[in-house]
Each structure stands twice: as C-alpha cells, then as structure tokens.
Amino acid sequence: MGKALDPVTGEGAEFLGETEFALACRLIADYAGIKLSPHKRYMVHNRLSRRLRARGLRSFADYLHLVQAEPAGEREAFVNALTTNLTSFFREPHHFEMLRGKAQQHLARERRPLRVWCSACSTGEEAWSIAMTLRESGCAAEVLATDIDTDALNTAAAGLYTSERAASLSPAQLRAHWLRGTGGNAGWISVRPELRGLVKFAPLNLQSPRWPAMELFDVIFCRNVVIYFDREAQRVLLERFTTVLRPGGLLAVGHAESFPATHPSFRACGRTAYEFTPR
C-alpha cells in the first residue's frame, strides 16, 4: 500500500503490510482475546507506529518480533496500544439507576457490603461512577475495578481528571465526591478520600486461563468489551461470570451487546441488564 504520512514527523513511513497486520491480529487475539476486523488495519498502523518510534525501530516486522521476545515488556505496551478506551462518567445512565435500586434493596435486607466488579474499567470513569452511586445510596460497598490495559488502569487508580472530562458531572456530584485543584493544579479534579476508599484497582485479563480468587459479587459491569471477542470467547466468559456472581445478582453489558440472553441462567431485567438465576 506504499507509504503513509507520519502525523508527528511528516516523514513517509511504510504502511503496515498484510503479513504484519495478520500477525498483529493473531497476537492481540492470543494475548487479550480481541478480534480485529480487516478495516482496523489503518488504526493498528497508527497505534503501532507510535511504539516503533518509542523503541527506535524502522519496521513493523522487527517490532512484532520484539513483542514476542519480551513477554514482560513490550508485549504489555502492545496490548495497551491496541486497547480501546472510550469511556465517560455515567455512560449509559440507566445502569446506574438500576445499581442505585439494587443498593437500596441490599441496604434494607443485608448487613454485609454490596460487592461490585467493574471488569473493564478503562481509565476509571465507570468505576468512580459506580462508587459515587453507591456512596450516595448510603450502602456499604466494595468495588473491584480491573482492566487489561495497565496504562489506563494507572490513570483510573490516580483518580485525577481534567475538568473537561468531568463536564458531565453535576455541581452537586463535584462538591460531594471531588476536590478541585488550585494554583498549578487548576482545571483538574481529584477523587475525595471517602470515595477512593470504596474502590480497589487491579490488572486482570478477562481471557486469562485463571482469575485470582474472588469473593462472590452482587453486580458485575462488563460493558462495551465483549464486542471485541468472538462468540466462543463470549460464551466462555459468561460461564465464568456464573462462578463469581451471587444468585439474584445483576450483570450490566454494553448498549450493543446481548450475549447473556443466550444463557438459560440469565434473565433480562432491564435495558442491557440481566439477573442471574441459576438453573
């Protein structure tokens, strides 16, 4: 396909070849379970070009060899580069209203904390939205937030955002849950300690053969991630969710996802939300 113009240097760079694109697709499928379609080739070229510059390499073939040779180094950066992190606070708000109702029911019936797993937390907006909802409900809670992308996870755990990224939060939410930066930190907000204490962040690949030991959850958020998995990977993940979700627990998925509907133990209970009722 010739050369593509490098947007940073303005120099021509060899476009990602078909052989290298096929290898990149196979590697990201092996490492993260993500299936890339042919029309993603330009995106892969752009994202991996940044890694080539960072490592001082001139060819995609050399870079992909490095990815395979460094399991603890460049492989992680490769996965991070190809992971999509589109998110925002209170995205798909109907799920948070459902979570609020679940928390109120739990508060009335249970003495233990409500446990929620945000299984693909990206840069953290979803996890902190969950925590804000639970704190406002007055329900004792524990939130586990995980992601395969360690760069995104570090951003999430820092709990530090520009005011532009927090534009969807109301003035009341900002006052209750966030601290505004002053001086050199003006234009930034950071999560209050009271909210931070509700959330634990940890790296986790949903496609890993083994997950760490977990207590059962009352709610699992798994939104806008399985659209990158093939049907068999979706089926396996759903089956694994049944081992960590309490009976009567909720599973929230993305607006374009309906994979729980194929499982006899999940019953639709709202828009892209399912109740776990073991059979």
pLDDT digits (tens, 9 = 90+) for 189-218: 999 999 999 999 999 999 999 999 999 999
Point out the catalytic residue in the list 147, 149, 218, 223: 147
Q: If pLDDT is split at 50, 70 and 90, which confidence band does 86 have?
A: low
- Which entry of 47, 115, 135, 223 is annotated as an active-site residue? 47
**Does the CA dihedral 138-139-140-141 come out positive or negative?**
negative
**For the chain, where do the domains classified as CATH 1.10.155.10 start and end?**
3-82
Instruction: Give the per-residue pLDDT at 129.
Output: 97
Provide CATH 3.40.50.150 ranges for the chain: 94-159+193-276
Residue type at position 189: I
Q: Identify whether the C-beta of residue 83 lies closer than 8 Å to the C-beta of residue 149.
A: yes
Q: What share of the chain is helix, strand, coil (3-state, %, to 5)?
A: 45, 20, 35
Least confident window among 8-22, 109-123, 196-210, 235-249: 8-22
Sequence-distant contacts of 100-106: CB under 8 A, at least 24 apart? 100/133, 100/136, 100/137, 102/218, 102/219, 102/250, 103/133, 103/134, 103/137, 103/139, 103/141, 104/137, 104/139, 106/139, 106/218
pLDDT at 80 over 50: yes
Please report the pLDDT score of residue 8 as a whole number.
39
> Burial code of 61-90, b = ≥16 C-beta within 10 A, e = fewer?
eebbebbeeeeeebbbbbbbbbbbbebebb
Whether the per-residue pLDDT at 10 is higher than 60: the answer is no
Residue 6: per-residue pLDDT:
43
For residue 120, the model assigns a pLDDT of 94
User: How many C-beta atoms lie closer than 10 Å to residue 215's C-beta?
Assistant: 11
* Banded pLDDT at 7 (limits 50, 70, 90): very low
DSSP alpha helices (H): ranges in the chain? 18-32, 41-55, 60-69, 74-82, 94-109, 125-137, 150-158, 171-177, 193-196, 231-241
For residue 184, what pLDDT band results from cuts at 50, 70 and 90?
confident
Report the pLDDT value the prediction gives residue 11, as an integer from 0 to 100: 44
pLDDT of 147 strictly over 60: yes
In contact, 265 and 278? CB cutoff 8 Å: yes
Q: Residue 230: pLDDT above 90?
A: no
Which residues on neighbouring strands pair with residue 179, listed in sequence order?
190
Could you give the percent of the chain with pLDDT greater than 90?
66
- Single pTM value for the model: 0.81
Cα 252 to Cα 90: distance, rounded to the nearest angstrom: 13
Fold of 94-159+193-276: Rossmann fold (3.40.50)
- Residues 199 and 144: their CA atoms lie apart, in Å, by 6
The answer to whether 47 is a known catalytic residue is yes
State the pLDDT confidence band at 268, using cuts at 50, 70 and 90: very high
CATH topology of domain 3-82: Chemotaxis Receptor Methyltransferase Cher; domain 1 (1.10.155)
